[in-house]
Amino acid sequence: MAKLESTLKNMILSLGIISLVASTLLAGVYILTKKPIEDSDKAKQLSAIQEVLPDKTAVVGEKVEIKLKDKEEAFVIYPATKNNQFIGCAIQTYSNEGYGGKISLMVGLDKEGNICNYMMLSSNETPGLGSKLTDWFKTKKGKQDIRGKNPEKDNFSVTKDGGDFDAITASTISSRAFLLSIKDAFEAFTQYKKTLK
């Protein structure tokens, strides 16, 4: 095979072919992985809903979206019933105020608005610091555990800001964002409960 002469035309042609092949391969990988990623995200979400509900045997109803003033995205509520009675819900909530950007979680509330449990869905927080959000606010140590607390009665802020909960050491920004997402979820819950009357 003859060596191509090094001209501008040949260089542009070579780069064009390489770019076309690379973009085709990238598109192929995207198509192959899109469905498994979506399936994995959906399974994670369903698992999170069951994990945070006040009763694991509850029937989960159709999702309801609640838009709060000054919030970019809607909060997704998954109401739960047992014996046809509303017992609480799982709420997909978020905050864009995290140190690493957006954090997303599923939080469960009983019918009075008490926190049952939570699960992190996604976060870009610093490994070893902000990533501790996964378990920090479930730990029965100091003023960390939010389970059993109610945003209407308890101050869902870090103690540094006069609130009731200890921030993660060296991750106050992440802790504030997390607690804000819980307060927003409670506000969405309050609005949703008005529709039940």
Tokens coding 34 = 């899109």
Strand partners, 94: 104
Q: Containing domain of residue 71, as a range? A: 50-195
**142 pLDDT above the threshold of 70:** yes
Tokens coding 136 = 């920090």
**151 pLDDT above the threshold of 70:** yes
Residue in the block written with tokens 């996604």: 122
Task: Please tell me the predicted confidence (pLDDT) of residue 87.
Answer: 95
Task: Please tell me the predicted confidence (pLDDT) of residue 159.
Answer: 93
**3 pLDDT above the threshold of 80:** no
Could you tell me if residue 150 is inside a domain? yes
Could you tell me if residue 38 is inside a domain? no
Q: Domain tally for the chain?
A: 1
pLDDT in tens, 47-91: 889 999 999 889 999 999 999 998 989 999 999 999 999 999 999
Could you tell me if residue 67 is inside a domain? yes
Q: Cα dihedral angle (9, 15, 17, 19), rounded to 10 degrees?
A: -150
User: What CA–CA distance (Å, rounded) separates 79 from 160?
Assistant: 34
Could you tell me if residue 148 is inside a domain? yes
Task: Please tell me the predicted confidence (pLDDT) of residue 183.
Answer: 96
Amino acid letter, 32: L
Confidence at 130, pLDDT banded by 50, 70, 90: low
Q: Cα dihedral angle (178, 182, 184, 189), rounded to 10 degrees?
A: 160
User: What CA–CA distance (Å, rounded) separates 164 from 156?
Assistant: 6
Task: Please tell me the predicted confidence (pLDDT) of residue 164.
Answer: 95
Provide the percentage of residues in the chain whose pLDDT is more than 90. Answer: 61
**17 pLDDT above the threshold of 90:** yes
Could you tell me if residue 90 is inside a domain? yes
Could you tell me if residue 164 is inside a domain? yes
Average pLDDT of every residue of the chain: 90
Mean pLDDT, range 2-24, rounded to an integer = 87
Confidence at 197, pLDDT banded by 50, 70, 90: low
Amino acid letter, 176: R
Task: Please tell me the predicted confidence (pLDDT) of residue 1.
Answer: 56
Phi, psi of 139 (to 5 degrees): -85, 125
Task: Please tell me the predicted confidence (pLDDT) of residue 113.
Answer: 95
Confidence at 2, pLDDT banded by 50, 70, 90: low
Q: Report CA-CA distances (Å) from 168 to 108, 116, 120.
A: 21, 20, 15
13 vs 90, more confident: 90
